[in-house]
Chain A
Amino acid sequence: MKPRYAPYFFLAPFFLLFGVFMVYPLFDSIRLSTYSVRGMRHQTFVGFENIERLLADPLFWTALWNTAYFALGSLLLQLPVALGLALLLSNARLKGRNLFRLSFFSPVLISGVFIAVIFYLLYDRRYGLVNKVLGFEIPWLQDPDLVMPALVLAGVWRWAGFNMVYFLAGLQSIRRELYEAAAVDGAGTWQTFIHVTIPALRPVIAFVVITSMIGSFQLFDLPYVLTEGGPGNASMTMVMYLYKHGFEFINLGYAATIGWALAVIIGVISIIQVRFFGVFREN
């Protein structure tokens, strides 16, 4: 074998597996989205009918709104919490820093299903810890107006510690000279934070925002176990909606259409974010 072919030889297993398990299903799902699939193997070509049906389906828009609500709620609540925790835990004078870091990070090690079960108990109207502490009987999971905020809060608990680690790493990589220069210029704590820390963390913030948005749009396990999409359809998310059509109704064509709609939405949002943060801009 000629040496120049050797890399291809070693890379071949990856491309083979990637092709079979990623590329082929991806393209086949495009084909599938143009079919009405009923039953195990009964397929009928319907062209763009699935897309027309999707756009006219009120439940699709409900699911999209709920998912966007969760994504935005997570972004607005989770990231400040993660950054705040990172700032607190990067303070060298804080005792037991490592213990706190591990504690805040640990929720991400727990399966989503288990977290959902815990929050099911925490949010219980009569006996849940949350209402016991607040002193009210708030119907977190029964009220359609409260169920999404309840999910956002559970999401914050789960992911804030994880994103905190990224911010911690980002904070540690900021050059000390910048803080010293700011101090020499007479900048206060807030000014230093706004004019030194935030700009220096820009790449990390971009990464966390983009990955959090993608993750939020793929939300499934938490509402699936915690609320089953209810009350009514008040917490139905896009992936739950996809799952329902794909695996409960066995309408794989429509499920593929939902999947591609989700992929396009995530793609567009990610491109906007990449441009906003200037991720690939030089310097």
Chain B
Amino acid sequence: MNHLGKAPLIFGLLFLLAFPVIVFRGDDRSNTLEFWVFHQIHYDEYSARIPAFEAANPGVRIELRLISKSHDKLLAAFLSGVGAPDLAEVEISSVGRFFKGSKEEIGFVDVTDRIEVDGFRDEFVQARLAPWSLDGRVYGLPHDVHPVVLLYRHDAYEEARIEPESIVTWDDFVRETRPLARDGDGDGRPDRYPLLLSAHKPGHFWLLLLQNGGGMFDEHGGVIIDNEIAVSTLEFYCRLLNEERLAIPEFSQDPASFAAMKEGVVLGVLAPDWYIGAVRRFVPELAGKWRAMPLPAWREGERRTSTWGGTMIAVTNQAENPDLAWEFVKYAYMDDEALANRYRKTYIIPPIRSAWSNPVFSEPDPYLGGQFLGKNLTELAPDIPGFYLNPYWAEANDLLRQAVYEAANGIRTPTEALSNLAEQVRALMKDTPAMTEGGALRLPSPQIETSETE
């Protein structure tokens, strides 16, 4: 060690000191909750609410983190067995991938018994518990209901003498709104469109399919995306886009779609509650010109709404103090004042019916010409359709995108596109039956009923 002096000794000592600090973090984290969220709006909402929770629970600290690609990181933490937060929010389109494999491999805490013990299971819109439930067990609480309405340009309807009340079914919608889609400048396409439906992404089709009573999987795990309901829904979807040309095909929810609204090219959108907030934010100049009406029904007397999107909160099984985490879940997701505050900021309807009696849900909305949006949405909320979680959800959803694109762009007929999709999903289920318990394919059991009836 002569010519090196004391360097190796110093390095050795530093290593010995640093190693235990890094590997064995001595701090007691049982009173600290790490909470991952993926959306800025949620982050802002909880940031404002957390100090009150910490004040009411001395010594408790909530580390709220806005994480980009949080679902990927959460998945990696579950796969490796370390690094997951105590609490996490998960978006509905990503939730399927967390429910692959056996029940023991699910990274979230089963909260079914906690919900029963606390006695608030019936307070939820039951269809909103289904997306986070498997084999009758619940793994998360819903953040929202996301009922869908038809947002339409009141001034354009008045100008064309269209009575919104006369639109009860989708056939009525086609008949009544045809005059809006005229080609005034002779460029071969309508100058204005009564509706916006994406020809490239499946979101709009999916919500219409759910409204019509369809879905991807049935309660026994069987593939139903090629049944009569799905085919007829996609045929109608393509008809609106291509034959009737009542729907503009080139947008989904991109910034350009808001420009098209401003220009008066788009006169109607299928709008869940959160999207109404986005329209309000990005198209403030149309205040007073929009109105909301229930979705036209597929058949008279049937469901007038659907659902689009959603988020759950879950306690992960790496949480050091699940009881404390559960207390925070109840505070963030079930406190009436918090839910009212959420509506004020985001226009998102909470999935807890008792919260709807808060006066905030009965206030007139100037952006919609004084309509009682909260009241209308909460009246529709109990009737939203549900759907069944399935281990093959992620793969099927990806294939759905391709099928809608092919049908909407005339590459295949709706029947061919959906048959092809269904065949691929069935083949996948047959070829990769590794999701087994004791050799048998594990299927989700019938869950909570798909929609509520009051």
Report whether chain A binds chain B. Answer: yes
Instruction: List residues of chain A with CB under 8 Å of any chain B CB.
Output: 1, 3, 6, 9-10, 36-42, 44, 120-121, 124-128, 139, 142, 228, 230-233, 244, 247-252
Give the distance in Å from the alpha carbon of A120 to the alpha carbon of B259 in the complex: 14
Q: By the criterion of a CB under 8 Å from any partner CB, how many residues of chain B are at the interface?
A: 40
Residue numbers in B under 8 Å from A10 (CB-CB): 11
B75 at interface by CB-CB < 8 Å: yes
Q: Are B1 and A1 in contact, CB atoms less than 8 angstroms apart?
A: yes
> Could you list some 7 contacts between A and B, CB below 8 A?
A37-B434, A39-B100, A40-B105, A42-B101, A121-B256, A126-B250, A249-B394
Q: Are B394 and A248 in contact, CB atoms less than 8 angstroms apart?
A: yes
Instruction: List residues of chain B with CB under 8 Å of any chain A CB.
Output: 1-4, 8, 11, 72, 75, 78-79, 97, 100-102, 105-107, 199-201, 250, 254-256, 259-260, 265, 391, 394-395, 398, 401-402, 405-406, 409, 411, 432, 434-435
Query: By CB atoms of chain B within 10 A, which of A6, A40, A228, A231 has the most?
Result: A40
Question: Given A231-B200, A247-B72, A248-B97, is A40 in contact with B78 using a C-beta cutoff of 8 Å?
Answer: yes
Query: By CB atoms of chain B within 10 A, which of A42, A125, A251 has the most?
Result: A42
Q: Tell me how many residue pairs across A and B have CB atoms closer than 8 Å.
A: 95
Give the distance in Å from the alpha carbon of A39 to the alpha carbon of B406 in the complex: 30
Q: Are A232 and B102 in contact, CB atoms less than 8 angstroms apart?
A: no
Residue numbers in A under 8 Å from B411 (CB-CB): 232
Residue numbers in B under 8 Å from A9 (CB-CB): 8, 11
Closest Cβ of chain B to A60, distance in Å, is: 15
Q: Are B8 and A1 in contact, CB atoms less than 8 angstroms apart?
A: yes
Residue numbers in B under 8 Å from A244 (CB-CB): 398
Residue numbers in B under 8 Å from A252 (CB-CB): 79
- Chain A minimum-CB-distance residue to B3: A3
- Chain B minimum-CB-distance residue to A252: B79
Closest Cβ of chain B to A253, distance in Å, is: 10
Q: Are B432 and A36 in contact, CB atoms less than 8 angstroms apart?
A: yes
Which of B1, B8, B101 contacts A41 (CB under 8 A)? B101
Residue numbers in B under 8 Å from A228 (CB-CB): 201
Q: Are A231 and B8 in contact, CB atoms less than 8 angstroms apart?
A: no
Q: Are B434 and A44 in contact, CB atoms less than 8 angstroms apart?
A: yes
Question: Given A38-B434, A250-B100, is A125 in contact with B250 using a C-beta cutoff of 8 Å?
Answer: yes
Residue numbers in A under 8 Å from B394 (CB-CB): 248-250
- Chain B minimum-CB-distance residue to A248: B394
Residue numbers in A under 8 Å from B75 (CB-CB): 247, 250
